[in-house]
A and B are shown apart, each in its own frame.
Chain A
Amino acid sequence: MENLHLVFPEIFLSLSIMFLLILGVFKNNSSKLIQNISLIILLITAVITFNETISVSGEKLFNESVIIDYLSSFMKIITLLAAFLVLIISSAYLKTFKIFKIEYPILILSSVLGMMIMISSNDLIVFYMGLELQSLALYVLATFNRDNIKSSEAGLKYFVLSALSSGLLLYGCSLIYGFTGSTNFDVIATKLNSNEYALTFGIVFILVGLAFKISAVPFHMWAPDVYEGSPTSVTLFFTMVPKIAALSVFIRFLYVPFSNLIDQWQMILIFLSIASMLFGAVAAIGQTNLKRLVAYSSIGHVGYALAGLATGTNDGIQSSVIYITIYVLMNLGLFSCLLMMKRNNEYYENIDDLSGLSKNHPMLSLSLLIILFSLAGIPPLAGFFAKFYVFKTVIEQSMYFLAVVGLLSTVIAAFYYLRLIKIMYFDEEKEKYDTDHSIWLKFSLTASTLLILIYFIFPSQLIEVVSKINIIQ
């Protein structure tokens, strides 16, 4: 018998989803109940993941098609916690738009399940299965506010473009299968040593598909529209959780089957990284909608995370993981602020709506100030350390061009973060926003702000946790 307990988290989560579906069908007005159960399920899954798999190093199951190691456990826990926080702070928003339905938590749970499978995959088919599971749930989530034309548009756009990228990805998979005769990552790795051009094509196609999922330039076009159109709570989910999963798949893909072909994919990754950093910084300057701006900023941040991956070292992988963790934290705080900008049952999401926020809501704007400076990467806030670790590994590999371009684009990016701060602090105030926010919203804002602020006192902890990730033996 295989070590089934290692996939307990996934088993538990899928059984719970089925149970919730049945419960939701048979019980009327059960959306609040299902929301609460889903929260508990996410927490329990995180605890199970922690208990069962955190100390496991590189166990493989089901004909070696699933791998459980430290990277997968860590990423799964982050995914689960992020999903938990998204779910818990989005209820007020959903209620305002009267879309507080049973499907919402269930869809989030399903996409999380898909991501967990992606994170653990050690086989092209398992990977694709997880990817599609999460994507299908995300399409529906994007259209969740179905009476809103923008939301429907966002979902449709996401669906069409995502299907295209999945097609490319599958084509890449089939090329690789054709030339190596296997879909298993380890087997592919052993058979890759021959210098086949078609293999390179396969890698390129897969990278394109992945870059699409993680919204790296030049495959980012869907992100601003989808982020803008989707309900804000879903946008929050989009900017955080799928990126964690996509990043870990990136790591797994590049460093397990294709680690010998680093010369082939390193250039691609450097290009993706530089293009994302620069484009994210420049394109965000002209935005007037906060969600669109966040979309471009997240494109930029993905560029930094990919810069760490481009180094081809364990340190680089670790720095990327640290980057994405801190990025998730900052985004959580940013969206908590966005979800607080509500007046008379209406949410405000334009940049001008921040005007003079500091006079009416000093604490909210102070938190946003800290988060924005952190996103801009100004010391001593957490965002600086995230960038610092990435560039430390980048410079170790003497990739000075990447480092200099990356740091220069932080200066460009600083401009639009500063613009937000300027609008909040230097401009005239407008009407006040409501202050009766849910306790969880306040909690997530306070906690993320404080963590960002005091991260510099305990920088070693996160490094220590992440340093157990060893992909390259």
Chain B
Amino acid sequence: MNFPILSSLILFPTIGALFIFFTRSSEKNNNTVKYVALFTSSVNFFLSIYLWALFDQTTSEFQFVEDRVWIENFINYKVGVDGISILFILLTTFITPLCILSINNSIKNRLSEFLIAVLIMESFMIGVFCSLDLVVFYLFFEAGLIPMFLIIGIWGGARRVYSAFKFFLYTLLGSVLMLVAIISIYWITGTTDVVELYKIGIDVKYQNLLWLAFFSSFAVKTPMWPVHTWLPDAHVEAPTAGSVLLAAILLKMAGYGFIRFSLGLFPVASEVFTPLIYALSVIAIIFTSFIALMQEDMKKLIAYSSVAHMGFVTLGIFTLQQQGIEGSIIQMISHGLVAAALFLCVGVVYDRMHSRLIHTYGGIVSIIPKYSVLFMLFTLAALGLPGTSGFVGEFLILMAAFKDNFLVAVIASLGVIIGAAYMLWLYKRVVFGKLINNDLKQMIDLNKSELFILSCLGIPTLFFGFYPDPLINTIEVSISDLIEMYNYKLVSKF
């Protein structure tokens, strides 16, 4: 493979951002700037589709690997993809152009800066998903904080400063311990190359502490109960596009990290801490579902539902079975699509009515029918109705959980029911019922671009719900080999 396709994927959005930076935008050329950003991110999407087409599904080896010396005798810039990471790259490149397209009138001031932040964010996120060196991973992982901090802080709502700080400091606090762990791994094994580390493994006596250090970072990022509190704040205050990025892509970094690093590098410790993860996941599922039930703010409700959904993901990952991990990845992809769409749906009504409170709405089904239909689709996908991608993920996770631990699976299944309750209740209160608020009559149905964006998200949600094979085929071999390696290491204790 000569053409450095992964580096191009990482670099291309940054180049687009630089281009926007140098065009010196003003109010007049807002459209031009937007087209540049849209063009850049769409090209990146097609490039990643091309990557998927070239991707060999029959092997779990890392593909498209680029390996360059970065710091002499210390760190190599190494990127590559396997079945696990390629889907996240696709998700990132798919969501970003939609995100840019969704900025219609919601962001008026400093549009070009916003687009720069979004594009740089895309670069960093792709970097996270394809880096094969711990330090490079950490670099991208942390760097993503800067654009997100600015997105929440500059373009956010009333309590944006508080939320931006909380987001930044929470995640930074989690991550610094991971940095200590990464440097320790370097001194224990002499390398930070992930592929190399998979081969040689890490001494069992260090694994527990290292696992906990990585866990502290991923748990905040996932977010798991009880360190999830930054997420509702960040979501509520972020502009729609920011919430979409946060929910669809940022939260997936941690799930990916759990699979790639916690399972891959510290199998013995993962086995030790599985009960902890189970407990936290189950609490997250039940507890945050109940909290979601009580929310008045639509965005907050969806944010809490995200925590619950990520609870399913962590549960699935640590069942350590083929279905469980497959289910987790599909759940993450599905959540990426559905949560993004739900936040966009909230954004649509917010743009019109400037309120996110549920009781403002009610009975809008006859006023904006197209919106109501699409909103229903995503509501049903969020609660995991068969035929949507949400079902596939949750079903696989619960199936694996039943094999592993009956009690946990039963409780988690209860979470599905509460999930259905709060989503349907939300839908009922917003869309059906009596039309009390007369201002709502002025609402206009979806315009073309909104319809386009929501359909773009809706089609894969339905498609993968009926036919998840393309996803499963991509990840199957990588996951089965990962589990094989995991079990082998567990037996041979290293």
Q: Is B160 an interface residue (CB 8 A)?
A: yes
Chain A residues, CB < 8 A from B172: 378, 410-411, 414
Chain B residues, CB < 8 A from A403: 180, 183
Contact A426:B176 (CB < 8 A) given known A379-B143, A418-B149, A459-B70: no
Whether the Cβ atoms of B142 and A378 lie closer than 8 Å is: yes
Contact A395:B139 (CB < 8 A) given known A407-B177, A414-B168: no
Whether the Cβ atoms of B72 and A460 lie closer than 8 Å is: yes
> A195 CA to B161 CA in the complex, in Å?
57
Whether the Cβ atoms of A422 and B146 lie closer than 8 Å is: no
Nearest CB of chain A from residue B184's CB, rounded to whole Å: 6
Whether the Cβ atoms of A378 and B72 lie closer than 8 Å is: no
Chain A residues, CB < 8 A from B142: 378-379, 384
Contact indicator per residue, chain A 286-326, by CB within 8 Å of chain B (1) or not (0): 00000000000000000000000000000000000000000
Whether the Cβ atoms of B153 and A378 lie closer than 8 Å is: no
Whether the Cβ atoms of A373 and B146 lie closer than 8 Å is: yes
Chain A residues, CB < 8 A from B180: 391, 395, 400, 403-404, 407
Nearest CB of chain B from residue A209's CB, rounded to whole Å: 33
Contact indicator per residue, chain A 401-413, by CB within 8 Å of chain B (1) or not (0): 0011001101100
Q: Is B3 an interface residue (CB 8 A)?
A: no
Contact A411:B169 (CB < 8 A) given known A396-B187, A425-B153, A425-B154: yes
Q: Is B145 an interface residue (CB 8 A)?
A: yes
Whether the Cβ atoms of A379 and B149 lie closer than 8 Å is: no
Instruction: Count B interface residues, CB 8 Å.
Output: 32
In the complex, residue of chain A having the shortest beta-carbon distance to the beta carbon of B127: A380
Chain A residues, CB < 8 A from B186: 392
Whether the Cβ atoms of A392 and B139 lie closer than 8 Å is: no
Contact indicator per residue, chain B 131-173, by CB within 8 Å of chain A (1) or not (0): 0000100111011011001100110000011001100110011
> A306 CA to B127 CA in the complex, in Å?
33
Q: Is A177 an interface residue (CB 8 A)?
A: no
Chain A residues, CB < 8 A from B184: 395, 400
Chain B residues, CB < 8 A from A97: none
* Contact residues, B168-195 vs A (CB, 8 A): 168-169, 172-173, 176-177, 179-180, 183-184, 186-187
Chain A residues, CB < 8 A from B177: 404, 407
Q: Is A415 an interface residue (CB 8 A)?
A: yes
Q: Is B71 an interface residue (CB 8 A)?
A: yes
Whether the Cβ atoms of B72 and A426 lie closer than 8 Å is: no
- Choice from A391, A408, A411, A426 contacting B183 with Cβ under 8 Å: A391
Q: Is A463 an interface residue (CB 8 A)?
A: yes
> A459 CA to B136 CA in the complex, in Å?
13
- Choice from B139, B164, B183 contacting A422 with Cβ under 8 Å: B164
> A403 CA to B145 CA in the complex, in Å?
22
> A464 CA to B74 CA in the complex, in Å?
12
* Contact residues, B86-101 vs A (CB, 8 A): none
Whether the Cβ atoms of A395 and B71 lie closer than 8 Å is: no
In the complex, residue of chain B having the shortest beta-carbon distance to the beta carbon of A392: B183
Contact A460:B70 (CB < 8 A) given known A373-B146, A392-B186, A408-B173: yes
Contact A407:B179 (CB < 8 A) given known A379-B143, A392-B186: yes
- Choice from A378, A395, A404, A411 contacting B146 with Cβ under 8 Å: A378
In the complex, residue of chain B having the shortest beta-carbon distance to the beta carbon of A403: B180
Chain A residues, CB < 8 A from B135: 388
Chain B residues, CB < 8 A from A415: 165, 169
> A411 CA to B180 CA in the complex, in Å?
14
Contact indicator per residue, chain A 364-404, by CB within 8 Å of chain B (1) or not (0): 00000000010000111000100010011001100010011
Whether the Cβ atoms of B176 and A418 lie closer than 8 Å is: no
Nearest CB of chain A from residue B221's CB, rounded to whole Å: 15
Q: Is A443 an interface residue (CB 8 A)?
A: no
> A312 CA to B146 CA in the complex, in Å?
35
Q: Is A456 an interface residue (CB 8 A)?
A: yes
Nearest CB of chain A from residue B285's CB, rounded to whole Å: 29
Chain A residues, CB < 8 A from B164: 418, 422, 426
Whether the Cβ atoms of A407 and B176 lie closer than 8 Å is: yes
> A400 CA to B146 CA in the complex, in Å?
27
> A392 CA to B74 CA in the complex, in Å?
11
Whether the Cβ atoms of B160 and A426 lie closer than 8 Å is: yes
Nearest CB of chain B from residue A411's CB, rounded to whole Å: 5
Chain B residues, CB < 8 A from A464: 72
> A392 CA to B161 CA in the complex, in Å?
33
Contact indicator per residue, chain A 102-126, by CB within 8 Å of chain B (1) or not (0): 0000000000000000000000000
In the complex, residue of chain A having the shortest beta-carbon distance to the beta carbon of B213: A404
Chain B residues, CB < 8 A from A407: 176-177, 179-180
Chain A residues, CB < 8 A from B149: 418, 421
> A348 CA to B169 CA in the complex, in Å?
29
Chain B residues, CB < 8 A from A380: 139, 143
Whether the Cβ atoms of A395 and B187 lie closer than 8 Å is: yes
* Contact residues, B218-247 vs A (CB, 8 A): none
Chain B residues, CB < 8 A from A421: 149, 153
* Contact residues, A427-473 vs B (CB, 8 A): 456, 459-460, 463-464
Nearest CB of chain B from residue A262's CB, rounded to whole Å: 20
In the complex, residue of chain B having the shortest beta-carbon distance to the beta carbon of A404: B180
Chain A residues, CB < 8 A from B139: 379-380, 384, 456
> A391 CA to B187 CA in the complex, in Å?
12
In the complex, residue of chain A having the shortest beta-carbon distance to the beta carbon of B173: A411
> A408 CA to B213 CA in the complex, in Å?
13
> A380 CA to B14 CA in the complex, in Å?
14
Interface centre among B154, B168, B179 (most CB of A within 10 A): B179
Chain B residues, CB < 8 A from A460: 69-72
Chain A residues, CB < 8 A from B179: 388, 391, 407
Whether the Cβ atoms of B154 and A426 lie closer than 8 Å is: yes
In the complex, residue of chain A having the shortest beta-carbon distance to the beta carbon of B149: A418
In the complex, residue of chain A having the shortest beta-carbon distance to the beta carbon of B142: A379
Nearest CB of chain B from residue A285's CB, rounded to whole Å: 12
> A395 CA to B182 CA in the complex, in Å?
10
> A407 CA to B146 CA in the complex, in Å?
18
Whether the Cβ atoms of A463 and B71 lie closer than 8 Å is: yes
Whether the Cβ atoms of A422 and B165 lie closer than 8 Å is: yes
> A98 CA to B172 CA in the complex, in Å?
45
Chain A residues, CB < 8 A from B72: 460, 463-464
Whether the Cβ atoms of A414 and B169 lie closer than 8 Å is: yes
Chain A residues, CB < 8 A from B165: 415, 418, 422
Whether the Cβ atoms of A426 and B143 lie closer than 8 Å is: no
In the complex, residue of chain A having the shortest beta-carbon distance to the beta carbon of B179: A407
Nearest CB of chain B from residue A410's CB, rounded to whole Å: 6
> A422 CA to B150 CA in the complex, in Å?
9
* Contact residues, B304-318 vs A (CB, 8 A): none
In the complex, residue of chain A having the shortest beta-carbon distance to the beta carbon of B145: A378
A interface residues, Cβ below 8 angstroms from B: 373, 378-380, 384, 388, 391-392, 395-396, 400, 403-404, 407-408, 410-411, 414-415, 418, 421-422, 425-426, 456, 459-460, 463-464
The 10 A-B residue pairs whose C-beta atoms are closest, nearest first, are A407-B176, A379-B139, A395-B183, A379-B142, A411-B173, A460-B72, A426-B153, A379-B143, A459-B71, A411-B172
**24 pairs, A vs B, C-beta closer than 8 Å:** A378-B145, A378-B172, A379-B138, A379-B139, A379-B140, A379-B143, A380-B139, A384-B142, A388-B183, A391-B183, A395-B180, A396-B187, A400-B180, A403-B183, A404-B177, A411-B173, A414-B172, A415-B165, A422-B153, A426-B154, A426-B161, A459-B70, A459-B71, A463-B71
If A379-B142, A379-B143, A392-B183 are given as contacts, then 19 extra A-B residue pairs at C-beta distance below 8 Å, sorted by A number, are A378-B143, A380-B139, A384-B142, A388-B135, A392-B186, A395-B184, A403-B180, A404-B180, A407-B176, A407-B180, A408-B176, A410-B172, A414-B172, A415-B169, A418-B168, A421-B149, A425-B150, A460-B70, A463-B72
